[in-house]
Amino acid sequence: MVTKRTQNTTSAVYLLLLLALSIIVLTGCGDSQGQDPAQFSNNKTVTANTNASGLSDFEMKNGIGPIKQIIELSALDMKLAKQGEDIFLSKCASCHKLDERYVGPAQRNIFERRSPEYIMNMMLNPEEMYKKHPEAKKLLAEFMTPMPNQNLSFDEARSILEYFRKAGNEK
């Protein structure tokens, strides 16, 4: 791990807060984003099955972090995607291009490799992902520069996800 230090307790508190915030935000936004607020209100899909990494099947597929439920994606929201593009340009584009390997991997084809939930968890919880998830570990070993935690809100990360969807459709 090459970041200077991490505060596990603090991170945990933040994750809980983030989860709580996600619930509040989603409840507030309701159907405007075509999602069921109840999706995030409990953790029932986390199963007891674990593999060699000590992760559940859900975590293996979808990453570790505040996203513990399947995100149902509906029709592409162009407005949300535009918001996501703006945030991406400010907080991510120093290291990620759409079509070429840069400091980090190219992002346009991200859906071919990762689930939406995994992408969200990676954006919102990079430190823990690098520590515990075999895929994230592999990527760190390949790129050597860990993806910084840019302290995105759930909504910001969700809008970036929408931007990736839009970008993926364009090619």
Residues engaged in binding other proteins (CB under 8 A): 2-5, 89-91, 93-95, 102-103, 144-146, 148-152
Name the residue nearer to other proteins (CB basis): 27 or 151.
Answer: 151
Residue 61's nearest CA partner among 129, 114, 131 is 114
State the minimum distance, in angstroms, from the CB of residue 162 to other proteins.
19
Name the residue nearer to other proteins (CB basis): 134 or 148.
Answer: 148
Name the residue nearer to other proteins (CB basis): 5 or 44.
Answer: 5
Total Cβ atoms within 10 A of residue 88: 20
Where does residue 65 fall: left (phi above 0), alpha (psi -120 to 50 degrees), or beta otherwise? left
Q: What is the rounded CA–CA span in Å between residue 57 and residue 2?
A: 28
Question: Half-sphere exposure of residue 98, counting CA atoms within 13 Å on the CB side?
Answer: 15
Burial 107-127 (b: 16+ CB within 10 A, else e): bbebbeebbbbbbbbbbbbbb
Name the residue nearer to other proteins (CB basis): 13 or 38.
Answer: 13
State the minimum distance, in angstroms, from the CB of residue 150 to other proteins.
4
